Structure 1
């Protein structure tokens, strides 16, 4: 009976070791991609090339500097909204509360014609992810083929797997219907 127990635990140990080797030595593509996009000490977007940059001004005040990055440094607009793998980096020049950030995002989605139902659901989701910003803080949004990832500096804040929300968020800056067409042109390097 004792030999059978020892044999069982030896097989269990060997199976666990094999499973560990498979997971850590041969990770799946999606596992590796999520690790790079979310929790890596050096997020992949840090090495992407800048497409364009701009400053949002309100009256006499500079609100933030924005930079658009893609792996190639080029933005290709697709009519079917298949564009992904881009990062929007926002360097804040003013302190803005979380409540004000959410309110401004809601206003921009309203301007883009997003339904009240979607806006409220998405604002609630962003409320669980975001925090307020201070002068000098950087908020980063990375659009992927599966949704969006938010970073505070290089630290992962949270994600959305709602691709429509992620695309609508980047549309605040990149849609042809944006409230800031000059900022959009500069972000796109035009």
Structure 2
């Protein structure tokens, strides 16, 4: 499979630091290099700077969706799918979500496909964790969507 971001342009990039720890570097891509919430394809690439268990990724995803007001009835089936997809992360690993033009969500781990979610509402909801105006890390969001260029 070709690199999913090779046809896309970088919108922005950001580093997440929590307290004293560097957690990850992230980069958002779109077709035009500009952020438009409803315009796909979009890709979010995360390069981890520390080890994180898959179980912790799942829990943080649930926590963020609840904070954004996404109903548990909506995301419970997604969590089941993510449990099958998400690997344990080691420092230096890369996880990439590519939301295609038809809003299929493809996950890549260190450049290899690890799973696809065909629910067209999933990709946008997953990206909201980083890109929603009410996300947990607004400075990271602003850098990702290109507001701090």
Alignment TM class, shorter chain as reference: over 0.9
Which of the two has greater strand per residue?
A: 2
Q: Which runs of 4+ in 1 moved over 4 A?
A: none
Instruction: Give 1:53's match in structure 2, choosing from 3, 10, 13.
Output: 13
- Listed as ranges, the gaps of 5+ residues in structure 2 are none
Q: Which is greater in Rg? A: 1
**Superposed CA RMSD:** 1.2
Is 1:150 aligned with 2:104? no
Q: How many residue pairs end up in the alignment?
A: 146
- Partner residue in 1 for 2:32: 72
- In the TM superposition, what is the alpha-carbon distance from 1:107 to its structure 2 partner? 0.6
- Listed as ranges, the gaps of 5+ residues in structure 1 are 1-39
Q: How does 1:99-110 map to 2 (within 5 A)?
A: 99-110=55-66
- In the TM superposition, what is the alpha-carbon distance from 1:47 to its structure 2 partner? 4.2
TM-score w.r.t. the length of structure 2 is 0.93
Which of the two has greater helix per residue?
A: 1
Which digits, 9 at most, give the CA deviation of each residue in 1:29-79, with x for residues without a partner?
xxxxxxxxxxx1x223134221100011110101000000112211123xx
- Asked if the contact 2:4/2:98 (under 8 Å) is kept, the reply is no
Instruction: Give 2:4's match in structure 1, choosing from 44, 51, 72.
Output: 44
Structure with the bigger RCO (C-alpha within 8 Å, sep 6+) is 2
